[in-house]
Each structure stands twice: as C-alpha cells, then as structure tokens.
Amino acid sequence: MAVAKSDASLQDKKGERLAWAFPLALLLPATALMLVLYAWPFVSSVYRSFLAKGGELTLANYQKAFELYFRDVVFSLEVAILSTIVAAILSITLSAYVRLSSGRLVKLISLLYRLPIFIPFVVVGQMMRTFLAPHGLLNIFLAQVGVIDLNAPLQLFNMQGLVLSFVWKQAPFMTLIILGGFQMIDDAFVEAARSVGANILQVILRVLVPMNRASISVAIILAFTSTVGTFTLPFMLIGGKIPTTVTVDIAHRVTYFGDWGVANALGVLMYLMVLIMAIYYLRYSVKKGIYEA
C-alpha cells in the first residue's frame, strides 16, 4: 500500500510538472522573439549610448545630444503631444457619432475612415507634400474661395503641417480602437442617460468616455508612440529644417557622421518619452485590476 501511494504521488508530481512545462513551452517562441527583436536592441542601445568612439564609458554622448538637439527633442515632444490630443478629440467625436447614429451616412463614414489606416507613412508624406505645398491643393482651394491670396500662400511645411499630417493618419486608427470600446457599451446606459434629459455631449462625456477609458488609453498610447518613432513623414515634410524631429536627427548623425554614440543617446531619450506613457497605462491597469478584484 505504501509503495502504491508513493508511485501515485510521484505520478501526480510529474503531472504537475508537465502541466507547468506545456504552457511555458508554448510561450517560449514568442518570448524568444520579443527578447531578440525588442529587449536586446533596447539594452544594446542604452549601453552604446554611454560608449565613446574609443570604447570607454562616458556621458559625452548625452552632453552632445543635449547641446545640439535639445530644441529638436522639445519639438518632437510638442508635435507628438499636440497630434495625439487633436487626433483623440476627433476620434472620440467620430466614434460617438457612429455609435449613437444610424443611416447611410454613418455606413459611408464607417467605410471611409478606415482607409488612411492602410496607407504607409511614405505615401502619406508624398500626399501631404502635394496637398500642403505653397501652391498645392489646399492653398489653391483656399484662394478660390477667397480666404487667402495665392501670392502669399500658407506655409505649412512646418510644425502645423506636420501635426495636420499626423492627425490625418492617426485619427482613423484611434477611431477603430475607441469605436470598438463604444460598441461594447450596452444601449441601456445610453437610453437611461437620455431618459433623464442628458444631451448628446453629456452622453459622450458622462457615459461613453468614462466607461471606455481603457480603450481610449490604449489608442492614445499607441498613437503617441507611433508619432514619436516615425521618421518618414517628418523627413519628407520638413526635411533638414530647424527644428526637426529626433528621428531625423538620428538618421543625420548616423548617415553623415557615423556617430552611433550620439544617435543611441537620442534613441534613449525617445525611449524615455514613450516610457512615461507606458508607466501611466501600467499604473492605470494595475489600479483597475485591484478595483475589479
């Protein structure tokens, strides 16, 4: 009897080990891919940002980055924040309209707003160079309706044009995420708000947005990180103008100077910009999980 019990306990332990080993084996390929493609480049970039050309550890790369590109760091942060805020407002408004309305116009909007999602940034850059040029489509249209004089057109190859381009590209992507969250909200909540006299703005601000904070946060973080890390659109739209974005500066340091130390230091500064948003989302997720528990 004792031997049988011992064999049974050993089999139970083997079964528990197998139960743990199988999920870990399933996670191993994805984990290895994340380590190779994301963790290792991140650690390598941080380490190399402290290396001088002779191989010794130094803070000279960060000192040089701040001396030469501090204005560009601030400019990149301003563009990313402003673009994300404007895109968030537009996407919440559009999502609420599609969620609360019906008809052919809503179906048409639901079809059209998805199109920019599938257009690459390089194509967006070329489109915006044609649209925002001094004698481009926008200025010609404004001149035709008498808003501006075509001899003194709007100059939009700058921060304003860059923000407009990012908003055009990012707002549909954010709308796709936010609208999905709005669609999960039961109609009973909306009808209850309307039954007590809430107007459309109150329904959006007091029902839809508070009940969909998670999706809105995800959309904002993804749009912000994508805007910070985009190289093609700023390079094509504002080129070598000052100020420019950090991504253009990184390409400039590597292409013309072969200065990987300063380039990695600028990359670490971009990591820190994104890290702030990631920490906020993690704190929000943890608090939400504790509250639900």
Q: What is the pLDDT of residues 227-256, one digit of tens each?
A: 998 999 999 998 778 889 999 999 999 988
DSSP letter, residue 51: B
* pLDDT for residue 157 is more than 70: yes
pLDDT at 265: 93
Mean per-residue pLDDT of the chain: 85
Mean pLDDT, range 101-120, rounded to an integer: 85
Q: For residues 12 and 14, what is the distance between their CA atoms, to the nearest angstrom?
A: 5
Is residue 20 scored above 50 in pLDDT? yes
Instruction: Please tell me the least confidently modeled range out of 17-31, 73-87, 229-243.
Output: 17-31
pLDDT band at 19 (very low <50, low <70, confident <90, very high): low
Please provide the CATH number assigned to the domain covering 68-119+159-292. 1.10.3720.10
Banded pLDDT at 280 (limits 50, 70, 90): confident
Domain ranges of the chain: 1-48, 68-119+159-292
As given in the structure block, the two tokens for residue 246 are 């950090």
- Residue 29 pLDDT level (bands cut at 50, 70, 90): confident
Residue 57 β-bridge partners:
51
C-alpha 77/C-alpha 98 separation (Å) is 31
User: Which pTM value belongs to this model?
Assistant: 0.84
Is residue 92 a contact partner of residue 204, using CB atoms and an 8 Å limit?
A: yes
> Mean pLDDT across the stretch 219-229?
91
Position 2 pLDDT exceeds 80: no
pLDDT of 279 over the 90 cut: no
- Residue at 4: amino acid letter: A
